[in-house]
Structure 1
Amino acid sequence: MDDETAEIELLQQNLNKTRQISKRMTSILDSFETRVAKLEKSILPLYTASQILNRRRSNIDKTLEKIDDVATREEDLSAEESLILRGPQAGQLHLYKEAVERLNANIAFKAGESAEIAKIADLVETGAKRLVQLYTKIVAEGSSGPTPTSDRINTSLLSLPSTFPPTLLPTLTPIVKFLRGMPIPATHPSHPAAQGIARTLMDAQRGFSDMRGNWCVKCLDAQGKRLVVRAGTSDVDPLQTGREFGEWVEIILATADEEHKLLQSLAPLPPSSSAISSSYALFLSPILRLFNSVLSSLVALMKKNLQRYSFLALSAYEALLSQQGQFELVLSFTTDMGAGGSFSSSKGAGGGAMVGDKSGHDILREGLTTLRSLCLRSFPEFLADIKLAALPTAVGKGGVNVNADVSTKVLDFTIETVKYISKIPEVEGAVSAALLALGDGNWKMGEGIQVGQKSKGGDAGGDESENVVLEHFIHDVIQTTITSLQTISRPPSRRPAFGAVFLLNNVAYLRAFLPAALLAPPTVELVQSNFRTAKAGYFDSNFTPLMQAISDAPLSSTSNTSSSLTSLGGGGKSGQVKDKFARFYELFEEVVERHRMGRLLDEEGVERERKVVEEEVVGIVVESFRRFCVKAGGKGKNTQKYIKKTPDDIEAEIRSLF
């Protein structure tokens, strides 16, 4: 218990000490609080004054920073302005691009500073103009220089005379890419320079189209003029000129297609249907003007002498007709306008390419219509010329009088008929289509044929009907030619014997040179039948008197020659034999002389016909004379003295006539 009492007393003592310490601490804290309150009351005015000073110091620092920033920015803007105004330098396009991009960034982050934004926008627009100047300079360099001088038409796309130089593309392509990234209303509607830049780029794009169009015309013009000059040259086949016209049109279309691709890749404005179509229409206008001019010159030439240039019209029509689809496709690039496009052309339906008041579609349509009408006219006019050659006062083509009564030459219109028909396969499509449009038989104008009647071949759209109409036309041409030849071969145009040789020469020429593939069976039979008839007429007029002279019938007493010979030879069988030999030799000399004056089948290429006639003449005349000589040998001992020329001599002389 004593221990516990002692511990309690100890605790009591410690508690008292704690109370005393607590009182003293409380007194100290009260005194400290009083002093702090007094200190706060004395320091508060100083604190308030220092806060005001701090704010003033902060404002001064911010002002100084702003001044430094403006000064730095003015120095940077001055440097950018100097770079922009100097323009892009060779090999430093990236520096120019970075400067313009920094200016655009300044505009984007300084929306509230209108005066400074306007100045920066002017610099951006100036930068675009400087880039456009460089762009235009390079395009002008690629659209100038010497034009091709070769006379040879070449349709290879790799050798088109107007192709843009590939060496300039590495320089031009980065500029185009940069220009397409410039702000325009379509991509940056709030950019203050967007409208001005768009106008600049559109002017550059129009300039590109104008330069490329004029350059292409400059390159194509020489070949176009050459076509017109060659068409008027007498030694150039009109069919070849028509084919060259087709090749020239093909070059135009290939050039237009290449230039459309070039415009899409090098146009400074971002590709869009409206911008490209408008610019492409501008490019096509001078080319269409050139095409229209050349075609008009060729048409004027055809109208002056349609028969000479009928195959020029046919081949040109076929060439243009075959390329109509590609032509329409090229023209469609100019009318593919976006609805409400801001760059649409104001001319033409849909903004297509225009030449004066005509659209490209009008020019193509009128060209095809004019050529087609010339083709339709050429068929009846060709037949009319053949008919006119048979008139008594006619002068054949080339100024040769077809009424010379001893002339046996192949006439020009016969040769022209063969040439005409032989050329048809090269333009068969155009000929068949035109004949079908004209109507079966309507080429026989003035012979009671109703214009516009339906084709005999059936449906107007079928290949079979075109073939039938073509066969009918060729048949009528050959029949008209033969009819005219028969008219010219008759008296008084020709002496009968010479007329027979003349007719045989001309009909044999037709038989030898007409292309068999184009002749229908009735036409082949027409030619063969007239050849047989002409051959029979030739035999009858030249060799029938010979056969009559050595026939068993007595010589006619009405013949002056036979009368004189009878009186000289006396009567009886011996006198008759002598008279017949004399009459035969006299007539044979006339035949030989006649053949020397008018050559028979003397043209190259009629060897087969010449051989047929030669063998038949030899077979008839020589064999008949040989039989006569055999018979005459049994009628008297002195018969041999009447034979001045043996059958072998007669045969050799006859063969020399061919």
Structure 2
Amino acid sequence: MATTMPAPRRAAFAEEAAEVEVLHANLDKLKSLSRKIQGSMSRLEVSGRTVQEAIGPVYGNTQKLQTMNANVDRLLEAIERAREPFDMTKSEERILRSRPERVGLAEYISSMDRTNQALRELKNSNMRSNQQAISELTGLLQLGTQSLEEAFRETCRRDCQPIEPLGFIMKGAQFPRLPSNKTTQLRTINAQVYSYASQASPNELSPTAKVYTHERGQYMTLSLQNLAAASLSTARKMGSADAIYKKGSNGVGTYAHGILGMYLAEYDNVCQIFHRNEWRPVFAATCQASLAVFSSTLRDLDNHVKSNIVTDCYLAYEIVDVVSNTSFELENRTGELKQAMIEALRPVRETAKTSLSTLLNEVRSRIQQMQTLPQDGNTVPITAEVMQRLQIMSTYLSPISSIMRSLGAGGWSAPSSGTSAASIPTLKSFDVGADGKLLFSAYCTDTMDTLLSNLESRSKVLLKGKSVQGVFLANNVAVVDRMIKSSELSSLLYDYQPKIDGWKKKASQLYTDAWKETSIHLLDVQYTSKQPRPPSTGQGVDSAAVVKSMSGKDKDGIKEKFRNFNLSFDELVTKHKSFKMEAEVRRQFGKDVQTFIEPLYTRFWERYHEVDKGKGKYVKYDKTQLSSLLASLS
């Protein structure tokens, strides 16, 4: 049985069916459109291939033309650059072939800078076609450098007229420096030449530096030549050949002062003109010629000292002092030339070192060669001369201390020879902490011992009798002692007195030995076991009682002793008065004799003077007279 659908539902189904039909219709249209689009794309692709096949050759030709055009442009640029050096050479040549003062220093240097820059670029290009331009530019730079060198030389020479250093030294004025405007100009030129020269020869002085060292070196050498000549002329012996050198009389001190002043001024100039790395070599090269003359002058002075070592060794000490101080001052102010100055000083310093032993040997030799000595016991000139030598040496304490420290304690005792044994280093030579004053004191003591010991040994050969030997030795010791106390030696020889006292004692013993022979006559023999003790009066020995108790033979013996004493005593007194004695020696010997003889005579006289019974036949002096006579000996 058929079912009947309600009307609303049939209407809904009908509407949906209609929508489906619409969708189918749209889908058919979309498919149709897709087919049309696909057909169009196929036709477009065919057309694109056709266009590409037609246009492709044209586009390739265009790219080739563009590349070719770019290559042509670059070639034209390269040709233009290649032409630039040739064009530049002509323009810069006009400037560089002119004088710097004509075109102006700044413009001239700018032209060199441009030329140098162009040359570097050409060298970097490695193009064969540029070789001619490179050669021409190199020649222009050399020409420009030579022109700048010449301008540098002319600027230097304007202020290189020799001066007289003595005038500046006397006035205490600074030595002249180059004006600031000149140093500015020279610095500018040097900087330009240095930059070019350092590329060519990096380890050599620049051309301008060579010009400077030649011109200024010659200026200093000529300026100092008079001081060098004065140093030699003032060293010559004008009077006696035995004249002792006087401190400061030689011109070497002024010469060194002049060198110091000129070198300091020149160092300031060098620092103003040259680069810092050039200061040392330029300054050393500038001073080289004048230093060579200075070294030669010192060698000549050294030869003079060697020929007059005894009288002029002090000149060597002065040179050591002056040159050492100058070298230290240069080192402090510039940091340079100390070693060069020390090398120049070396010959004189070696002579100064050997002089110490030479002087000792000279003392020995002179004394041993003496054929006679004063028979009155007077001093010999060598004693005062040797002490004067030590006094003078004390005024050169600083250089002598330095020399002695290099020798070491006792190093001066080495015998002088041609090989200079003193110059051979030893371990003690390196005692840099040694006290120079102590070493000098030891040297003075050695010198005095050498002097006195040789005088003593020579007197024993040439002088007869111990008394005159004692007087001779005492007189020379007195001169030594007096010259120490009257000079700076007294503050330096702090331990000399015991040695002097030892020599005085030795001299006194020699002198009093002769009086001991006289004293023998004042000795008597008492046999206390056989004879009773002489009676005493409470005032001393009773001479009358003593004589009364004696036998006739004993009395004759006492009379003979008085007679012999009188003869010996009078002879010694006469001899004592005839001796030439220094005042202090006479006082000391008189005191020694009185101290020795008076007690013996007083005792002997008190016991035996009654043997003469006051007649004065045998007893010539009473004890008061003898005491007065002995006192007169002082």
Q: What TM-score, normalized to structure 1?
A: 0.56
Amino acid at match of 1:374: T
Matched, 1:547 2:554: no
Match of 1:385 in 2: 362
1:213 counterpart = 2:220: yes
- Correspondence list, 1:98-177, <5 A: 136-140=157-161, 143-144=162-163, 148=166, 158-159=172-173, 163-164=175-176, 173-177=180-184
Quote the residue 1:410 is aligned against: 379
For 1:156 and 1:326, how far apart are their aligned partners in 2? 19
Once residues 340 and 331 of structure 2 are traced to their aligned partners in structure 1, the CA distance between those partners, rounded to angstroms, is 11
SS at match of 2:192: coil
Give the aligned residue type for 2:350: S
Matched with 1:566 is none
Counterpart residue number, 2:580: 599
Q: Which residue of 1 aligns with 2:307?
A: 304
Give 1:613 shift: 3.2
Which of residues 449, 452, 469 is equivalent to 1:479? 449
Code of the aligned partner of 2:287: L
Gap change, CA 1:327 and 1:524, over 3 Å in 2:
same
Q: CA–CA distance in 2 between the matches of 1:182 and 1:318?
A: 42
The answer to whether the 8 Å contact 1:500/1:538 transfers is yes
1:130-529 superposed matches below 5 A: 136-140=157-161, 143-144=162-163, 148=166, 158-159=172-173, 163-164=175-176, 173-177=180-184, 180=187, 185=192, 205-206=212-213, 208-229=215-236, 234=241, 237-238=244-245, 240=247, 245=252, 248-262=255-269, 264=271, 270-273=273-276, 280-328=283-331, 333=336, 361=339, 364-365=342-343, 367-368=345-346, 370-389=347-366, 391=368, 394-395=369-370, 401=371, 403-404=372-373, 406-428=375-397, 430-438=399-407, 440-441=409-410, 443-445=412-414, 455=428, 460-463=431-434, 473-491=443-461, 493-514=463-484, 515-519=489-493, 521=495, 524-529=497-502
Alpha carbons 2:234, 2:251 under 8 Å: kept: yes
User: Which residue type is aligned with residue 510 of structure 2?
Assistant: G
Task: Please give the per-residue CA displacement for 1:411-441, whole angstroms capped at 9, x wherever unaligned.
Answer: 3443344344445544445545544544555
CA contact 1:389–1:484 (8 Å) conserved in 2: no
Instruction: Give, in whole Å, the separation in 1 of the partners of 2:389 and 2:626.
Output: 41
Give the deviation of 1:501 after TM superposition.
Answer: 1.2
Asked if the contact 1:408/1:498 (under 8 Å) is kept, the reply is: yes
- Tell me if structure 1 keeps the 8 A contact 2:376–2:468: yes
For 2:307 and 2:232, how far apart are their aligned partners in 1? Answer: 18
How far residue 507 of structure 1 moved from its aligned partner, in angstroms, is: 2.8
CA deviation digits over 1:305-362, x for unaligned, max 9? 444444443443344445443355688658xxxxxxxxxxxxxxxxxxxxxxxxx945
Superposition deviation, residue 222 in structure 1? 4.4
CA distance in 1, matches of 2:405, 2:626: 55
> Displacement of 1:536 after TM fit?
1.8
Decide whether the 8 Å contact of 2:228 with 2:294 is kept in 1.
Answer: no
Q: Which protein is richer in helix relative to its size? A: 2
Alignment equivalent of 2:593, drawn from 602, 612, 617: 617
Is the 8 Å Cα contact of residues 169 and 257 (structure 2) preserved in structure 1? yes
Distance 1:427 1:109, change over 3 A: closer
Contact 1:217 1:287 in 2 (8 A): yes
What residue number does 1:42 align with?
A: none
The alpha carbon displacement at 1:297 in A equals: 1.7
Q: Check 1:657–1:234 CA distance in 2 against 1; reply closer, same or farther (3 A cut).
A: farther
Contact in 2 for aligned 1:407/1:598 (Cα 8 Å): yes
User: Structure 1: 5+ residue runs without aligned partners?
Assistant: 1-83, 88-95, 190-197, 335-359, 396-400, 555-570
> Once the 2 structures are TM-superposed, how far is the Cα of residue 251 of structure 1 from its aligned partner?
4.1
Distance 1:211 1:473, change over 3 A: closer
User: 1:639 and 2:632 equivalent?
Assistant: no
Tell me the amino acid that sits aligned with residue 587 of structure 1.
S
Which residue number corresponds to residue 587 of structure 1? 568
Q: How many correspondences in the alignment?
A: 478
Closer, same or farther: CA 98–527 of 1 in aligned 2, 3 Å = same
Is the 1:383–1:480 Cα contact (8 Å) retained in structure 2? yes
Shift of 1:538: 0.9
| Residue 158 of structure 1, CA deviation | 2.5
Q: Which amino acid aligns with 1:272?
A: H
- Could you tell me whether the CA contact under 8 Å between 1:147 and 1:218 is conserved in 2? no
State the alpha-carbon separation in 1 of the partners of residues 631 and 259 from structure 2.
Answer: 59
Please report how far the alpha carbon of residue 209 of structure 1 lies from its aligned counterpart in structure 2 after TM superposition. 0.3
| Residues 1:412 and 1:184: Cα distance change in structure 2 (over 3 Å) | same
Q: Which moved more, 1:529-538 or 1:245-254?
A: 245-254
- Whether the 8 Å CA contact 1:550–1:625 is kept in 2: the answer is yes
C-alpha contact 2:380 2:476 (8 A) present in aligned 1: yes
- Cα distance in structure 1, aligned partners of 2:617 and 2:159: 103
CA distance in 2, matches of 1:219, 1:176: 28
Asked if the contact 1:406/1:498 (under 8 Å) is kept, the reply is yes
Scaled by the length of structure 2, the TM-score of the pair is: 0.58
Deviation, structure 1 residue 463: 2.8
Does the C-alpha gap of structure 1 residues 491 and 138 become closer, same or farther in structure 2, counting only changes over 3 Å? closer
Does structure 2 conserve the Cα–Cα contact (< 8 Å) formed by 1:504 and 1:531? Answer: yes
Does the CA-based 8 Å contact 1:214-1:286 persist in structure 2?
Answer: yes
Q: Is 2:400–2:440's contact at 8 Å kept on the other side of the alignment? A: yes
User: Do the aligned partners of residues 641 and 439 (structure 1) sit closer, same or farther apart at CA in structure 2, a change above 3 Å counting?
Assistant: same
Contact kept? 1:315, 1:427, Cα under 8 Å: yes
2: CA distance between counterparts of 1:321 and 1:331?
15
Kept in 2: contact 1:504–1:538 (CA 8 A):
no
Conserved 8 A contact 1:440-1:454: no
Q: Secondary structure at 2:582's aligned position in 1?
A: coil
| Residue 133 (structure 1) shift | 5.1
Is the CA contact 2:363–2:450 (under 8 Å) kept in the aligned structure 1? Answer: yes
What is residue 57 of structure 2 aligned with on the other side? none
Q: Match of 1:586, SS?
A: helix
**Shift in Å, 1:475:** 4.5
Please tell me whether Structure 1 or Structure 2 has the larger radius of gyration of its CA atoms: 2
Aligned-partner SS, 1:590: helix
Q: Residue 619 and residue 203 in structure 1: after superposition, are their counterparts in 2 closer, same or farther (change >3 A)?
A: closer
1:409–1:598: 8 Å Cα contact kept in structure 2? yes
Instruction: Assess if the C-alpha contact under 8 Å between 1:386 and 1:481 holds in 2.
Output: yes
Shift of the 594–372 alpha-carbon distance from structure 1 to 2, 3 Å rule, reads same
- The CA distance in 1 between the partners of 2:147 and 2:187, in whole Å, is 16
* CA distance in structure 2 between the aligned counterparts of 1:598 and 1:408, rounded to whole angstroms: 6
Q: Tell me how large the CA RMSD over aligned residues is.
A: 5.5
Deviations 1:213-261 (A, max 9, x none): 1343134224422442369975764472599745643442233112322
Q: Identity across aligned pairs (percent)?
A: 15
- Call closer, same or farther: CA 1:105–1:420 in 2, change over 3 Å: closer
What's the secondary structure of 2:236's corresponding residue? helix
Distance change (3 Å), C-alpha of 1:274 and 1:230 = farther
Q: Partner letter of residue 568 of structure 2?
A: L
Q: Give, in angstroms, the shift of residue 388 of structure 1.
A: 3.5
CA distance in 1, matches of 2:554, 2:152: 119
